[in-house]
Amino acid sequence: MKKYLSYGMAGGSLHAFIGAVHRIGAGFDGIAALKAGCFSRNPEKNQECGDFYQLDKERIYSSFEEMAQKEGAREDGIDYVVISAPNNEHYETAKVFLQNGIHVLCEKPLCFEVSEAEELKKLAQEKGLLFCVNYSYSGNNMVKEARELVKNGYIGDVINVNAEYLQEYLVDDIGKGDQTMNKLSSWRKDPAVAGISNCVGDIGSHIENTVSYITGLRLKRVAAKLDYFGQPLDLNANMLVEFDNGAHGVFCSSQVCVGHMNGLVVRIFGTEGAIEWHEEEPNVLFVTKKGQPMQTYHRGMAYVSARAAEMNRLPAGHPEGLYEAFANIYKVWNAAVLKKANGEELTEKELDFPTLDDGIEGVKFIHAAVESSKKDAAWVDIN
């Protein structure tokens, strides 16, 4: 029986923020080890990262394509690849690894076009491979608790959703075109690299997925107004949304809201109660039952659900954050890849990571929001 996994990375060089978070998350539980990579198209940066992690020189590859082909042919090849390259690399990179029989964990958004996303799903199914799209906030402990509360009917039927993701870091770029491209986000405002959207694609997609994960609902249509402020891609978006159960909601994503660092807030209102979660206070969940005062649920306490307890990593009062959220995604993912390798059947709980279907919904949402804004916030169906 296989007990440990090896993985490779496409992108995520030594000084890339998200690459480091992936490596920490993947190795958090000691189940998976980094064995191969093409960390950058820049030869020096690529070699630097491979040397830092003491990889065999023959497994530091000059291209994603070479890595997929050679690792797929090795008897001791990687079990999966982590794609943390910029958006425009996702589709082709995921495709070539799937073609070579390697499971894929890919950063969001999955790709640029819905047709590409559906092609990846078909290929993964034909090859019998697992595919995770890294919507990381679904790994947060209290997001899982919120999901359990909704699933068990604690707040009744969902009738309204209010969610926002507010940042300020691009406010100085308003009206200045490419002259003041923020170094933290220069490629995110380049349509050739980021795709058709910056703000909605980068953080608005997290709202869509987190709400969908908690409620179990899918978006039916959206009416959106995107603001560009002289930039090639959007910096701000306000959206009305309708869900498949008939409920409505409001989403707001912005990178120009002064005073907000990383303010993802999700509020779910039901016929019997409400729940509220703040990403910057990830260890608590605010729960209100109709006719009762608001309660504060704390991560790690005896009253949380079995699922939240199962994903708990530290005693209550010891903060868990982004690294642990990533680690929880990888905890479920690594267990699923191991069971798959050992020929075991996977249960619904073992598939509790963001799937290709979630990635497809994200791509559809981004396209619908951009199309709606072009039509002066007209309702656009999410097909």
CA 19 to chain centre: 13
Fold of 5-129: Rossmann fold (3.40.50)
Q: What percent of the chain has pLDDT over 70?
A: 98
Common-topology check for domains 5-129 and 138-325+362-381: no
Is-cis flag, bond preceding 315, omega within 30?
no
pTM higher than 0.85: yes
| 3-class secondary structure, 289 | strand
Positive or negative CA dihedral for 331, 337, 339, 345?
Answer: positive
Is the pLDDT at 185 greater than 70? The verdict is: no
Mean pLDDT calculated for residue range 329-333: 98
Rounded Cα distance between 25 and 103, Å, is 17
CA trace torsion 265, 280, 140, 155 (10° rounding):
-40
pLDDT in tens, 197-216: 999 999 999 999 999 999 99
Mean pLDDT confidence for 25-54: 97
Distance CA 317, CA 301 (A): 9
Distance CA 361, CA 280 (A): 25
Which architecture, in CATH terms, is 138-325+362-381? 2-Layer Sandwich (3.30)
Higher-pLDDT residue of 284, 182: 284
* Residue 179 banded pLDDT, cuts 50, 70, 90: low
State the average pLDDT for the chain. 96
- Residue 178, pLDDT above cutoff 80: no
Q: How many CA atoms lie within 13 A of 246 on its CB side?
A: 1
**DSSP three-state, residue 376:** coil
The pLDDT, as a whole number, for residue 295 is 98
Q: What is the Cα 338 distance to its own chain's centre?
A: 22
Which tokens belong to 167?
């940042």
3 state DSSP class of 375: coil
Enumerate helices (H) and strands (E) in the chain, giving the number of each.
12, 14
Terminal C-alpha separation, the chain: 42
User: Which percentage of the chain shows pLDDT scores above 90?
Assistant: 95
- pLDDT classification of 272: cutoffs 50, 70, 90: very high
In this model, does residue 94 exceed pLDDT 70? yes
What's the pLDDT tens digit per position in 340-378? 999 999 999 999 999 999 999 999 999 999 999 999 999
The residue type found at 189 is K
What crossing angle do the helices spanning 114-127 and 90-99 adopt, rounded to 10°? 20
What is the domain partition of the chain in residue ranges? 5-129, 138-325+362-381
Q: Is 44 left (phi over 0), alpha (psi -120 to 50) or beta?
A: alpha
What average pLDDT does the segment 175-203 reach? 83
Q: What average pLDDT does range 227-231 have in this prediction? A: 95
Q: Are 234 and 199 in contact (CB under 8 A)?
A: yes
The length of the chain is 383
Structure token digits, residue 40:
């950058």
